[in-house]
Amino acid sequence: MIGHSASQVMGDLGTGKSTLVNALLQEPGCFGVSSRATAFTKGVDVTEARNFDTCEHKVVFADMEGRSDKGPAYDVKLATPVLLTAKAVVLNIVCPTRPSKVQILEVLAISMEASRQVSNRRDRTDMFGHLHVVLRGCTNTEDECHKIIFGREDPGLAETDDEETAMTERNKIRSAIQCAFEGDPRVWCVPAVQSAGESFNYADVSYAAKIDEMRRNLVEQMREPKRLDRQPLTGAMIAAMMPELKEALRSDDVVLNPPSIMDAVFDAECTRIKDEVLSAAKSGFESAAIPMDAAELANLKKAYINDFHGRTSSYPVANRNKVLASFNSTLDAFEKEVDARNRQAHAEQAEKEAKAKAEKERIAKKKEKEKRRASEEAAQDRELKLKLDLAEQKKRAAAAERSAAAAYYAAAARSDCHDMPSPSPRSGRGGGRRTVQVRGHPRTLKSGKTIWVRGHSRTYG
């Protein structure tokens, strides 16, 4: 958890509070300044101390409106929230001569009024940060001024009853200051206000040296964040605290209870962290790669659970438990949404795979059918070729026979077929006769000759 430290600067109107803060921040125009008789700063101006980079957490400076004619009640209500959250409180006083303990303690009485608004006296101890009293233009030593302002007075030395009463009242303020602020108050005697350019090259070297010394002291004190009810404050916690303080300060009879305030702050902080983690979880679950196996989903959920517990570990268990149930139920809902998307994705994947399988089978059947048809066509082609080849062979054989018969007829015509052997001798009827078989058209030969007409042998006498 990143801590948060604030430094509050307070004082009377027109005493150069903004100029002092600008010098401490080494930023000439950070806070506006004016020589007018009316307040230039209204309410509280806050800025980040960018040059306080030696601190490990964020540091801010709060420039509070100077005391005016709006009354002590306004000043107390304006100072209370800043006092409760400031690690260092700087009271700026113009002091051309000796410091006026009456004036300074009167201003600090505002802080004491703020502390008395805390109901439990034990909660008032170290409730505010470190107190720094800056005496502008003072020529006395710092130890002497510290003794004048914070040294106890002996009422027994008073010459009048009124003086004794005043001493007693001032001692009460001193005791309250010692109780309410951390450590011993520090007094700074700073030379008169000087203007500076952007480089802060002051003509008075002692003024620059004193500002640097103050700055180093503040940096050292603000290394640790401000605590309230023993809890370190963060910027988010202070922001959550302000509505509680605002509501409490509305009453004319203000009663502040730091444990109750911090309990409300812890509730607000745990709620804020819960909302931030759930917002991140929603984005994480929505952008998760789907489908996601059970182990990955469990690890994703566990990461957000660990994030929530890690960020709320510094807060009381009771405050964490107030938001834990809603956190877990919302996270479970996110998990169920992813699980539903997983089932849908698995169903879509199964459907896709089934379609792909069916398509593959269809293509395989189509290929098998085409292969079978091609095989059948090839077999038909071979059978047809065999038939054509056989027909061609028969055709050639028939042509050869016709050619042989034609040659025979031609030869027979020339020799009148007498004693000419038949191209296809066969055994005829009758004893010792020679038979001539002639294919084709029937021929009539001379008597006593035998011919073959349409498959039958005949003998002519």
- Is the domain of 285 the same as that of 213? no
- Is the domain of 164 the same as that of 243? yes
- The dihedral through the CA atoms of 129, 134, 140, 145 has a sign that is negative
- Is the domain of 205 the same as that of 114? yes
Helices 294-311, 258-286: inter-axial angle, 10-degree rounding? 160
Number of other CB atoms surrounding residue 365 within 10 Å: 10
- Is the domain of 284 the same as that of 235? no
Q: Are 300 and 283 in contact (CB under 8 A)?
A: no
DSSP 8-class letter at 124: G
For 38, residues 6+ apart whose C-beta sits below 8 A from its C-beta are 13
pLDDT for 69: 52
Residue 32, classified by CB atoms within 10 Å of its CB into exposed (0-12), middle (13-18) or buried (19+), is: exposed
Q: Are 267 and 322 in contact (CB under 8 A)?
A: yes
Give me the residues paired with residue 240 across strands.
none
Number of other CB atoms surrounding residue 196 within 10 Å: 18
Percent of residues in the chain assigned helix, strand, coil, to nearest 5: 55, 15, 30
- Is the domain of 191 the same as that of 329? no
Q: Which amino acid is at 402?
A: R
Phi, psi of 219 (to 5 degrees): -60, -45
Give the domain-ending residue among 222, 254, 286. Answer: 254
Distance in angstroms between the alpha carbons of the first and the last residue of the chain: 145
Residue 177 is assigned to a structural domain of this protein: yes
DSSP string, 22-62: HHHHT-TTSS----SSS-SS-SEEEEE-TT-TTSSSEEEEE
Average pLDDT across each block of 10 residues of the chain; the chain has 461 residues. List them in order: 63 72 72 44 58 61 60 71 83 84 86 71 78 89 93 92 93 90 92 57 73 88 81 77 72 65 84 94 91 90 95 89 95 93 89 93 93 93 92 91 87 63 47 46 49 49 49
Residue 97 is assigned to a structural domain of this protein: yes
- Is the domain of 272 the same as that of 200? no
* Overall number of domains in the chain: 3
Residue 379 is assigned to a structural domain of this protein: no
Give the domain-ending residue among 341, 370, 397. Answer: 341
- Is the domain of 246 the same as that of 300? no
- Is the domain of 40 the same as that of 132? yes
- Is the domain of 100 the same as that of 127? yes
Residue 380 is assigned to a structural domain of this protein: no
Give the domain-ending residue among 199, 232, 254. Answer: 254
Whole-number Cα distances in Å, 220 to 6, 23, 56, 136, 214: 13, 17, 11, 23, 10
- Between vectors from CA 206 to CA 201 and to CA 210, what angle results, nearest 5°? 95
pLDDT for 460: 47
pLDDT for 148: 93
DSSP 8-class letter at 339: H
Residue 8 is assigned to a structural domain of this protein: yes
Whole-number Cα distances in Å, 154 to 168, 175, 460: 8, 14, 189
**Domain hosting residue 111, numbered range:** 4-254
CATH code, domain carrying 239: 3.40.50.300
This prediction's pTM: 0.60
- Is the domain of 248 the same as that of 273? no
Residue 47 is assigned to a structural domain of this protein: yes
- Is the domain of 178 the same as that of 285? no
pLDDT for 434: 45
SS3 400: helix
Number of other CB atoms surrounding residue 138 within 10 Å: 23
Phi, psi of 445 (to 5 degrees): -100, 180
Q: Are 93 and 107 in contact (CB under 8 A)?
A: yes
Residue 140 is assigned to a structural domain of this protein: yes
Number of residues that this document lists for the chain: 461
- Is the domain of 207 the same as that of 318? no
Residue 388 is assigned to a structural domain of this protein: no
